[in-house]
Amino acid sequence: MPAQARFRATVLTLCSALLATAATALPARAETASWEVSAHNGPTAVVGLDPDDGRPTLAVRRDGRTVIEPSPVGLVTENVDLSGGLSLTGRSDRTITERYEAATGKSRIRNVKMAESRFSFRGTGGARLDLVVRAAADGVAYRYVLPDTGTTGDVLREASAFTLPTGSDAVIGPYRPDNELRFTRYGAAAAPTGSYMMQALFRTAGGYALVAESDLTGSYAGARLTHDAGSSTYRVALWNDEPVEVSGGALTTPWRAIVTGDLATVTESTFTDDLAPASRIRDTSWVRPGPALWTWLAGGKEAGVSLEAQKKYVDYAAERGWPYEVVDAGWYFLPDQWDVIDPDWQRTSWIPELVRYAADRGVGIHVWLHYTLLTDPVEREKWLSTLEKWGVKGVKIDFMDSESQARMRWYDEVLQSTADHHLLVNFHGSTIPKGMQRTWPHVLTFEGVGGEEKRTNTAEHLAALPFTRNVIGSMDFTPGAFHRPYRPNVGSDAGELGLSVLYESGIQNLAGTPESYDARPEARRYLEQIPAAWEETRLLTGDPGVSAVLARRAADGRWFIGGTFAGAAHTVDVPMRLGAGRWLVETVTDGPSGLVREPHVVSGGDTLSVPVVTDGGFAAIACRWYAGRTACDD
């Protein structure tokens, strides 16, 4: 070999040896540290911390499968980025065991057991961030605590996000401040770029996951999800991307919740209520849910300004045994000017006479208010104290249309004021429950839904609501409007009837006209039996956006069943998950000449075949069967 060639070979050999030595000397990349928080027979939250950039993540697994991939967590404030550069300084654990009674919702008695871990992190300049994680049989949740906001300043944004496993599906609705847009089914990654409501349902390889929020107050702002088409990640964004103001001391954010399990577990869950603070009302004896005759879709503006019309509605509610009648917009306006408040309304209003008339017939009156009447503390006290003095039972407050921090502070004030004046509450044009009904049980329901008033709903939307919006709290869809030509189940009176049970609301505002009920005696008979509240809820069968059948148990032991279906007419097989023994099940279905009631005797666990028409549904009542029993209202 020539000398020059030998020299090149020697150099290459030496370089290779040096590179090998250098590679051996480099330390291997440290693996991400991780810690688990788990509940018995439930999901496991996995908190991770990247050793290179100090970025924390949170994943959710169930039965060895991934529900949520490792997803970013953390906060960014005006003074420090607490989404990276963090180190763990400590962990503490505890078990939370509670039992409480709910005035409204899917079940009356709630038993709660959660594992909680608090992870303390230190960031740049010594700033601190605590990540509090809870795990229960039906969900995982986390929130942030800034122990000293004096050093961090206002919150600019969250790093919080949810990354779905590849191949996941989504049932989601575009975000609007009143939360009233439709739910649609997509591939999770294929959903269009945009903002979506926080109540988003995903089907993953590890089970269903409903993303939600709980314990939102005026110390923070409401959130929405944002998504880029093609991505499996849904990020949490704050109201209008505005900073959250903090005033020193500690800040605790709302919970970011993932309700997870099989479809029945998610649908029947009370997890978002369980995360919320206990009731702030000591004596709740005056909090009485129940059905109401709602006059807006039945009578429109004319009914809102007419004492005589309202008396007729009261009479009809009394005949049906419904405990409430709701007077909507118009009652405090000048008679000939529909948008001008009568300055002498306290003296001239006919509401006191209506309240007395209704009380004599066992009916309570609720009245509509525009939220702007309650923004000034002095005016708020005038309105609410007057209504209490008159004997009004509740208020329907409308058009908040914001989840800003300022508006959430307004909610805090109004919740306390209405409780002080013993006024039940129905929020319209509003946020969604987010645990509020546990803390303030006099809140019977919220709108926050594309309900019966809408003219653009679809059968798919009706079949998505039991698995999305209605999972997290009472929902004022206002069913029963048989006279409405715009409802997606217009060809199925049985489907419309079933919505009165399928959708839970502490005050079920029935939106039909008396004439429409009288023309459907089977529907009227069914609605007369609707109880004030539910002891238990069970999903019998369903496919989000396609079908839903729920059974709800009344205090007398009867089960009320409602079902809705999107698509062609067919016969559905419904599992009777009602308990052992023999049951009489009275179904109400669509027949060629109107509604048909038919009795069936089945055993618990059997399957009942029920015919449904196109985009239709059904209603049913189940009671214990004994020889000779032919009806559940015997």
Q: Which residues are catalytic?
A: 398, 453
Measured CA to CA, the distance from residue 509 to residue 452 in angstroms comes to 11
For the chain, how big is the Rg over CA atoms in Å? 28
Measured CA to CA, the distance from residue 203 to residue 128 in angstroms comes to 35
Pick the closest to residue 180 from 431, 435, 437, 487 (CA basis): 431
Pick the closest to residue 542 from 468, 604, 474 (CA basis): 468
Measured CA to CA, the distance from residue 385 to residue 397 in angstroms comes to 15
Pick the closest to residue 517 from 482, 546, 548 (CA basis): 482
| Angle (CA) 631 633 634, round 5° | 70
DSSP 470: G
Burial of 370-387, coded b for 16+ CB within 10 Å and e otherwise, reads bbebbeeeeebeebbebb
Pick the closest to residue 620 from 564, 575, 559 (CA basis): 559
Which segments of 215-276 are extended strands (E)? Answer: 223-227, 233-238, 251-252, 255-261
DSSP string, 374-418: GSSHHHHHHHHHHHHHHT--EEEEE------HHHHHHHHHHHHHH
Residue with tokens 């978002």: 272
Residue 60 β-bridge partners: 45, 68
The CB density around residue 574, as the number of other CB atoms within 10 Å, is: 21
Residue type, 628: G
What SS3 class is residue 551? strand
DSSP string, 114-166: EEEEEEEEE-GGG-EEEEEEEEETTEEEEEEEES-HHHH-SEEEE--EEEPPT
What SS3 class is residue 508? coil
Burial class (CB in 10 A: 0-12, 13-18, 19+), 333: middle
Q: Decide: 274 and 110 in contact? Cβ < 8 Å.
A: yes
